[in-house]
Structure 1
Amino acid sequence: MAFEEFVVSGYGGYRSEGRTLRHRDPDVDTVVLIGGALQRKAAWGRFEAVLAERFHVFTVDLPGWGDADTLPAALGVDFLAGALHDLLEAAGHGRGQVHVLGASYGSGIAHRYAQTRPCAVRSIVLAGPLLWVPDAVREDLRRSVDLLEDGRMEEFAELSADVILRSTPGARVTRQAAVRRILHSMFRDIVGADREKYRHNTLRLLRQTPSPQPPITVPVLVVTGEHDRFTPPDLCREVASACTDARLVLAYDADHAMHLELPARAGDLLTRFVTGESLDGLSYCHPVEYTATAPSESARPEAAPSALTAMA
């Protein structure tokens, strides 16, 4: 049975909080989870529980999230990557390499951390990667900030949930209706500091541009649902193609919120990736796509340097 440890750190004058679920075996690897919009360190639910069966799990409230301080939009992902490293050091996870998952808003932080602290990272998972805002949703995100500032909370909640859960018309998405109700209530009911955090985080995201250099050389898993239209498959392929050792997985019957809709499958996928097991042939996802320079679990033909190759 895992037990909880909490830690607080201050980086650049802004408070962060971390929570470790310690595995009974002190020698297992550590998985770090960085969440998306309004994600709190203790609210990963079943997905976290699956990971805690095999790993230490470290969840974070970086500045701008949860119980941490509000972070002005002018401070970007470089600052947040520094705050993450400071928090990992404070929690005692900085003495060894960790596996880092960044989901949605959190993916940009995970990506930048792997670029700036490559010796601290063993692998990276980018779930529904939002390293920059796709043109298709840019105006919706701007409008969500306007609705929030005007106090039009029902419209704000409806739009925010719709953007995150936007999916292929007519598609079957497991548990989407239940997840939509949860997200709608969460957005509708945010008050006080959480409103300011959402506003600053969204404005920061709208200003964010990808940092292609230096390329990430540790193993990378890019994953989203097959029906995701917030960070759609082609955007995920673009993200994966910029890494030297990446694989892309599209989950069946899921959209952008895969870890909420299919937590057991998402946990199984991440566990397999972190432990070096093959991702080929899984029943719950499309054939894995690999960057041409990435070594696969089995031999495969060479391809053009920027291509992604589907493997059955």
Structure 2
Amino acid sequence: MERFAIVPPFPESLMRTAVIAAQAPPRAEGSRPVPRAPEPAEERDLVFGGFRYTCRIVRQSAPVTAPLLLLGGSSQNRYSWQGHERWLAPLCTLVTVDLPGYGSSDFLPAGYGIDFLADAVRHMLVELDMPQVNLFGGCFGEVVGLRFAQRHPGQVRRILFGGAANRLPELYEEAVPRLRRTLERGAIEEAADGLVRLFMSNPEAGKVRRHAAVARLLQQQFVNQTPDDIRKAVEHNTRLVTHGCYEPLPVPRVPTLVFTGEFDTLCTPEMGRELAATMPGALFTTVKEADHLVTVERREESADLIARFCTDRPIDDLPYCGPLESPSAASAAALT
């Protein structure tokens, strides 16, 4: 979840570091030239299966890696990743999207499941003439991204999933009927309180960066939903409960990383390990001082982790991450 844009106050030294990183990112392939600054963003309105949807593209004319497709959570939209662009856009072309049923795109009835959304992703990439992408999926974006990778494996170069699981969390399944009834009767403040508790860890669980500030902004985001937002949110919950989030289909053998906040109580680290164990050669790690909203609470660090993985730079021994694990290898060893 990260529909809102949080721009924290940066110390002058950190701001200088961020600017330098954006202008001159580390070279990923020997002596290749430093990438140029990204071009202005463009938007494309597309239609798939009779439903209009919109994508946003920030092009990089001198990329060091394949385009990066960012699929966010159910309350994210195509603008949610602008805060990450300073670190990611100098490396490659970025693509974000409001799939049918989300953001400003057309309402999508719950009868259309995850396969439809995965195929909409493929439709978009064909329209954009992008035969392969580095794929990031966060929260619900992982559900769509994994199905896309399973159904269209040849279009995926690398996979990264954050705040991810291969089953619906019990907390979510228990909360959905209650939240649906609350939204349907128009008790927005009550629903917002419930959603904040669902997506954020208990403050006593452990230190989470900017926990109070993010909780306030998340509350405001939910309270300020339009009737169209609420209608889509109810339909989204119905879609997930009806269709489920996971199919045990083959996953392409490509470089894969699953990560989550160390205090994620919705999609717990153990659930992330379970997902990684189903993916050939997948690595897993936790991000310190973060919960389910890791890409909001630790924006620069999550962007750095994504950038490193997409450019084949080392990701072990990062100061903001826990140990790097290989759950799929451990699972295979346990079976022998």
What TM-score does the superposition give when structure 2 sets the normalisation length?
A: 0.84
> For the residues of structure 2 that align with 1:183 and 1:154, how far apart are their CA atoms?
12
Following superposition, the deviation at residue 232 of structure 1 comes to 0.3
Aligned length: 296
Q: Check if 1:152 corresponds to 2:163.
A: no
Q: 1:305 corresponds to which letter in structure 2? A: A
Give the corresponding residue for 2:85.
48
Give the corresponding residue for 1:297.
none
Give the corresponding residue for 2:150.
115
> For the residues of structure 1 that align with 2:309 and 2:64, how far apart are their CA atoms?
18
Is the contact made by 1:168 and 1:227 (CA closer than 8 Å) also made in structure 2? no
Cα 1:192–1:218 change in 2 (3 A) is same
Following superposition, the deviation at residue 192 of structure 1 comes to 2.1
Cα 1:39–1:244 change in 2 (3 A) is same
Alignment of 1:291-306 (within 5 A): 291-293=327-329, 303-305=330-332
Task: Give deviations 1:271-290, integer Å, cap 9, x for gaps.
Answer: 11111122111110100111
Q: Check if 1:257 corresponds to 2:293.
A: yes
Cα 1:254–1:38 change in 2 (3 A) is same
Task: Give deviations 1:78-129, integer Å, cap 9, x for gaps.
Answer: 0000111111222222xx3101111111110000011011100001111111
Following superposition, the deviation at residue 23 of structure 1 comes to 1.6
> For the residues of structure 1 that align with 2:213 and 2:101, how far apart are their CA atoms?
26
Q: Check if 1:101 corresponds to 2:136.
A: yes
Q: Check if 1:220 corresponds to 2:263.
A: no
Q: Check if 1:234 corresponds to 2:239.
A: no
> For the residues of structure 2 that align with 1:50 and 1:214, how far apart are their CA atoms?
32
Alignment of 1:116-195 (within 5 A): 116-167=151-202, 169-195=204-230
Q: 1:70 corresponds to which letter in structure 2? A: F
Structure 1 unmatched ranges of 5 or more: 294-302, 308-312
What TM-score does the superposition give when structure 1 sets the normalisation length?
A: 0.90
Alignment of 1:21-100 (within 5 A): 21-25=58-62, 28-93=65-130, 96-100=131-135
Give the corresponding residue for 1:299.
none
Q: 2:101 corresponds to which letter in structure 1? A: G
> For the residues of structure 1 that align with 2:188 and 2:227, how far apart are their CA atoms?
13
Q: Check if 1:202 corresponds to 2:229.
A: no
Cα 1:111–1:168 change in 2 (3 A) is farther
Report the 3-state secondary structure (helix = DSSP H, G, I; strand = E; otherwise coil) of the residue aligned with 2:266.
Answer: coil
Is the contact made by 1:35 and 1:104 (CA closer than 8 Å) also made in structure 2? yes
> For the residues of structure 1 that align with 2:54 and 2:167, how far apart are their CA atoms?
25
Report the 3-state secondary structure (helix = DSSP H, G, I; strand = E; otherwise coil) of the residue aligned with 1:289.
Answer: coil
Give the corresponding residue for 2:310.
274
Percent of aligned pairs with the same amino acid: 33
Cα 1:52–1:225 change in 2 (3 A) is same
Is the contact made by 2:166 and 2:274 (CA closer than 8 Å) also made in structure 1? no
> For the residues of structure 2 that align with 1:87 and 1:278, how far apart are their CA atoms?
31
Q: 1:147 corresponds to which letter in structure 2? A: T
The structure richer in strand per residue is: 1
Following superposition, the deviation at residue 37 of structure 1 comes to 2.3
Task: Give deviations 1:23-73, integer Å, cap 9, x for gaps.
Answer: 241564200011112211012232233211211110011011111111111
Cα 1:261–1:304 change in 2 (3 A) is closer
Following superposition, the deviation at residue 305 of structure 1 comes to 0.1
Q: Check if 1:4 corresponds to 2:41.
A: yes
Is the contact made by 2:63 and 2:90 (CA closer than 8 Å) also made in structure 1? no
Which of 311, 322, 325 matches 1:286? Answer: 322
CA RMSD of the aligned region, Å? 1.6
Is the contact made by 1:18 and 1:59 (CA closer than 8 Å) also made in structure 2? yes
Structure 2 unmatched ranges of 5 or more: 1-36
Cα 1:168–1:242 change in 2 (3 A) is farther
Following superposition, the deviation at residue 215 of structure 1 comes to 3.0
> For the residues of structure 1 that align with 2:333 and 2:128, how far apart are their CA atoms?
38
Q: 1:239 corresponds to which letter in structure 2? A: L
